[in-house]
Structure 1
Amino acid sequence: MNTTTDARRTLDAAGTNRISSRGAVAAAVIGNWLEFFDFTVYGFFAVIIGRLFFPSTDPTTSLLLSVATFAAGFITRPLGSVMLGVYADRKGRKAALNLTIMLMAASTGLIALTPTYARIGLAAPLLIVFARLVQGFSQGGEFGAATSTLLEQGGGTRRGFRASWQLATQGGAALMGAGIAAALAAALSKEALESWGWRVPFLLGVLIAPVGIYLRRRLADDTSSAHGHGIERGVLHELFTAHLRPLVLITLTVMGGTVSTYILTFYMPTYAIHTLGLPMSLSMLVGVASGLVMLITCPLFGLVSDRIGSRKRPILFGRGVLVVLLFPAFMLMNRFAQLSVVMSLTALMLVFYSMGSASEFALMCESFPRRVRATGISIAYAVSVCVFGGTAQLVATWLIRVTGSKLAPAGYVAACVAVSLVAVSMLRETANESID
């Protein structure tokens, strides 16, 4: 009788742990989705924000200033990655995730409520820049804590699938942001959209923050486990002495992925409006298609990496095909500047981008021990995104202006992806290794 009772208790506990792990993963996924929505929705309204907060007689100059402010949100990512990454490794993932979402909600609300340049002058763009800096600080810490949580919850199996939801949530955020932007552009007049309509997504970003905080209450309090590793030399000291090589290689690996995603997902609607001449109501559908492709394909390719027992092979193949596709795709988009052509070619490129990036996040996490994991992947990701991803739209717009070539963005993406392929080839395979 006692044996039967003990067995039942063991089964019940195992079932409870599985449900708890699934709830924790769901909380990390949805919370991360909301954070990325708040951060990236700015990119879909860069053209309007440029006119309202950075007025100029030259539309390209206004756009450059606007996308430069988008890039400003990445400057503070490295600082956030260090401070909040160490906080996550020392105090626990749950504490860090709750802090990041509150910072993101406050800064997003500031963007929503800031008066335009016409009303308060220079204070308007300064407030927008400040809000973007706070958003970047928050996002710098969010990535490491959320991705570590996705990998560590649920045991040693299907790690690639769970970690791939980090990228899938970015696609979901793009889908949500572009979808709302497309709906507003279709439903409102140009005057109404520029007067108040563009503020709606930012206000929604504030309102949905409590949902993320509520969901993250389901995460286990891992403070004790964070302290239990006994970091004698300090997180940063150990990271930069014992794990410097993977840190550098992963930073270069992320470079190819982050430039690709910010050009193909968040810049393409702006490219379609400003360079190809498509109307905003249609151009935003490119962002919708891009986000949908990432949301669907990333978990599938993450699962594939688990099944074949390799993180590196999907990355090398997917990004290799992407490099080959870039120039022909951009040439066709410029030759046939139609919504159906732009959407189809962007979606095709993103399928191979997803293949080449879905398992990247598992590879990142598995390359570091738990005691420095959140800090390591936060720094690698934040530095790469700050230097390359956050400036991708600015560089692409500038290259088009300087070279006069509408194919310039393709060349920039191809160069960054090529460097990342070299870095991936130099990393060790981690799919079958223990994460602790």
Structure 2
Amino acid sequence: MTDATAAVLDVHERPSPALWGLLSLQHLFAMFGATVLVPLLTGLDPSVALATSGLGTLLFILLTKGRNPAYLGSSFAYIAPILAAAALPGPDGQPLGPTGAMLGAFLAGAVYLAVAACIKGFGVGWLLKLLPPVVTGPVIVVIGLGLAPVAVNMAFNEPGTGVYSGQHLLVAAATLGLALLFAIVLRGIFSVVPILLAVLGGYVVAAIVGLVPWGGEAGMAAKLAAAPFVEMPNFAIPFVTYDLPWAQAGAIVLLLVPVALVTIAEHIGDQMVISRVIGRNTLVDPGLHRSLAGDGLATMLAAFLGGPPNTTYGENVGVLAITRIFSIYVIGGAAVLALLLAFLGDFRVALQSIPVPVIGGVAIALFGVIAASGLRTLIEGKVDLGDKRNLLIVSIILVLGIGGAVVHVGAVAQLSGTALAAIVGVVLNAVLPHSREEA
């Protein structure tokens, strides 16, 4: 592991007040682009996502006793299941909308708590056997490639029509080009925010070609002037702002809850990386059971307020590695800044004005990176695809996941392709023999 003495600020060290805000702002920038992109893709409120990201991180810090410098943001793994759940018909025959997915997201967080309790009682070995790289790797590939049509449609087509638009393609291509350029060229702390910078650049291009109108009563200038300085985010609290869709509960659970198996495996991977970076084993102290419980409760809180499920963020682990600043006070400061930002009315107007092709451009890069990270999991896990057993497991997961966006189970229940792939992968890994002798 990395020598902790190399830290500029160790986990329990507090920076000076003047430096504290700047360092926290740095972490906020690292998580901002991806955290806001998820609600923009799923129809949830970006301000709520920022608020639940900040609250979830503070809750995580509390649960891990201030010993784990991880930041929590919106999880990409749940995008496709949320979209599928939002399309389910409600009592009035109309789609439930994204709030319909909150029940499943809440229960997905509960899965974290159950796994955390099992780890506390029985250790982590059983979970690693249940979710080896031969299962998690191809499922992560499925998550990325399964979202590919969403990104391409947003980049190429007129929103809501499905009709090709050269203007939208131009903006998406410019945004994607900037993301690639920034990711390769930028160094230092700027290297962890290429997506945020690409969105800003794409926004400028969109404004130039007329996709962001500024003048007139419906222009951005008028909207910004009319927006209150402080405004409550559009929290969607069960039984208060919407009714929980109990009639579709089974379908929603099948769409979202199995994805928790994949995100739990990602959580373990993130904790291993954080341990190497900060020079102390977070799997032992404060313990994997505590970090999983913190992640799960953060997801449940986000679902209760109408935000996307939370997850530990690799972008912020990158900031830790680059800056050598591990202070939990800096992470907590970033969470407070995210929470405060969610209540700014002008900021919400600006977020909601980001054109769809700008999001589509960065989505092409991000979803591809997700798929590539699945391949990386297979490589780092030394999965031998020359072994027929491994080859069959990976092949079946890929076909089921990519081919079955939504699978109907009975008359009402539905299962996302990702969830189906994860379940089948776990089962195949458990029952298929490793050798002819074992069979």
TM over 0.5: no
Name whichever structure is richer in helix by fraction: 1
TM-score of the two chains, using structure 2 as the length reference? 0.29
TM-score of the superposition, structure 1-length normalised? 0.30
- Relative contact order, higher structure (CA 8 A, sep 6+): 2
